[in-house]
Amino acid sequence: ENFVPKTSAPFSTNSYDAFISPNTLNLSSFTKLLKKLQEIHPEASRDKIVDALLEVRKNNKGILSGLSISSIVERTSVLL
């Protein structure tokens, strides 16, 4: 049998790519989350919001799954 080893895609250091991973939020949830945070914090840039989300993830053992959207928004808002 031919066995082809699976290789992983290269990981980007771009904050958007770092935030969107199969183990965190899907794109739809991320988009809704970002939109909600931009409405609450219109003065914050997209990059600043993503940085705050990454910090929330880091403070939650490196994952966002298991947290409700409202909890993520609340924790991110504290940082912003």
For residue 30, the model assigns a pLDDT of 83
Structural domain includes residue 16: no
Structural domain includes residue 48: yes
The answer to whether the beta carbons of residues 55 and 80 sit under 8 Å apart is no
Range of the domain at 68: 44-79
Q: Note the pLDDT tens digit of each residue in 22-36.
A: 445 566 888 888 999
- Please state the domain count of the chain: 1
Instruction: Quote the CA–CA distance of 35 and 72 in Å, as a whole number.
Output: 13
For residue 41, the model assigns a pLDDT of 95
Alpha helices (H) along 1-80: 15-19, 27-40, 46-59, 69-79
Structural domain includes residue 21: no
Structural domain includes residue 39: no
Q: What is the arithmetic mean of pLDDT over 3-17?
A: 47
Q: Note the pLDDT tens digit of each residue in 45-73.
A: 999 999 999 999 999 999 888 888 899 99
Structural domain includes residue 37: no
Structural domain includes residue 35: no
What is this structure's pTM?
0.64
